[in-house]
Amino acid sequence: MPRLIEPSFRQSVDMMFEKAVSLMDLSPGLQNKIRVCNSTYTVRFGVKLRGDIHTFTGYRAVHSEHKEPVKGGIRYALSVNQDEVEALAALMSYKCALVETPFGGSKGGLNIDPNAWEVDELERITRRFAYELIKRDLIHPSQNVPAPDMGTGEREMAWIADQFRRMNTTELNSEACVTGKPLNKGGIAGRVEATGRGVQYALQEFFRHPDDINIAKMTGTLDGKRVIVQGLGNVGYHAAKFLAEEDGCLITGVGERDGAIINDKGLNIEELSAHIRATGGVKGFSGGTYEEDSAAVLEKDCDILIPAAMEGVINLSNAERISTKLIIEAANGPVTAGADDILRKSGVVIIPDMYANAGGVTVSYFEWVKNLSHIRFGRMQRRKEESNNILLIKELERLVGKPVSDDFKMKFFQGAGELELVRSGLEDTMRGAYQSMQQVWHSRDDVDSLRTAAYLVSLGRIADSYKALGL
């Protein structure tokens, strides 16, 4: 039996790029300009901890500056390397173009196990890493704006923002140097849930298109669909929670580092999440059947599979055993290029990562705009909206001679606050982006997947930006 040769994550991204660009009328020079990473900064810095000097290696890659600032998260993991960071930066460029946020693509990472250090130690490491990037303008509100990623969150973003402010005391827009901050540090309502909420909106939009449902060999709506989630971190948890509570999906399986939990009647995500926080894993959870092999959950029969953890979890070694109708890539690059080909030929529809997990960068854009405007969304118009709604209901009751129910009044009277506006903006973005992909998917005989369609839309917009710059 021939040995399977699995492309790396970066190779997978390049292969998917080449497939799409071969269908476009772009000069070789412009193709290469879009493909290559503009720059990558590698930093090695020392921090004295526990009585000794520890040296850490970090990266910040800038893929494309067709629009500025560039945007992309910072991840903390032992898997971080230059190739991974550059591939993720490329995906950020394509993602931002697809959902029409005015950013180029960037990505950063620190080769570190964040669980190996105490909070105060991690803060010192983070601040020193930020210092190295800030002094080279690789963190700046108008040039390069990081966000959380795997291994980082609100806490780390708050440290970075504070470090920037200390080094740029006269910068009026210092809060906008990073997104994903806590609310009391310039963050925005709905940012923590944003990527998972975006996954929900993406699936909702998919199920608004009967032709697409038929291609996936499904019928009906999201209600009752069996869903398996691989990875119950921030993204997987919120996606599973919203799909179960608001759309009637049955979360029949969840895979985590220590194993998987299966329940064909549906898992209680809140209870499972609480158990994971308390014990560090899914083992011992009473609401389902435990299986030691976490990866095996990917092969369980289901309607919708949501890989929401690491890249490359669906690959040449398991692609033929995947038993689902629809995959939505909540993580970056969970399906390799080889696996993508196998799944597509077997009839599985894949909603690609550059679209499916774009909720985070979309709401990050909203946060950046909020920081630059120095005012929270909804502050100027909410009470006016409420007043107008009250007047409308009173006039309606007068005309019909009957009172409107108190429940309706309560919902209708309430003007839109920041969270409601963020969710509305995110849903509009996800619906619009899907429709742009879908139009290409169905209008061209040479486009065989949503992924290729997404690349064509995205690369076309980036190419237009470069052409406008005179390239």
How does DSSP classify residue 140?
B
State phi, psi for 467 to the nearest 5 degrees: -60, -40
* Cβ–Cβ under 8 Å, residues 62 and 33: no
- Cα atoms in the 13 Å half-sphere on the side-chain side of 459: 28
State phi, psi for 244 to the nearest 5 degrees.
Answer: -75, -45
Is 300 part of the annotated catalytic residue set?
no
Q: Three-class SS of residue 208?
A: coil
Residue 328, strand partner residues: 351
Give burial (CB, 10 Å; 0-12/13-18/19+) of 155.
middle
Q: Which residue has the tokens 């009751």?
A: 397
- Longest CA–CA separation in the chain, Å: 80
What CA–CA distance (Å, rounded) separates 85 from 15? 17
User: Environment class of residue 321 by beta-carbon count within 10 Å: exposed (0-12), middle (13-18) or buried (19+)?
Assistant: exposed
For the chain, give the number of residues: 471
* Burial of 265: CB neighbours in 10 Å, binned 0-12, 13-18, 19+: exposed
Burial class (CB in 10 A: 0-12, 13-18, 19+), 66: buried
Catalytic residue among 107, 241, 300, 370: 107
- 163: CB partners within 8 A, 6+ apart: 126, 127, 130, 131, 134
Pairing, β 74-77 against β 52-64: unpaired
Residue 385 has φ and ψ, to the nearest 5°, of -60, -45
CB 101 within 8 A of CB 194: no
Structure token digits, residue 179: 């997104």
Distance of CA 281 to the CA centre of its chain: 23
Task: Say if residues 426 and 359 touch (Cβ distance below 8 Å).
Answer: yes
Contact indicator for 232, 276 with CB cutoff of 8 Å: yes
Q: Which residues are catalytic?
A: 107
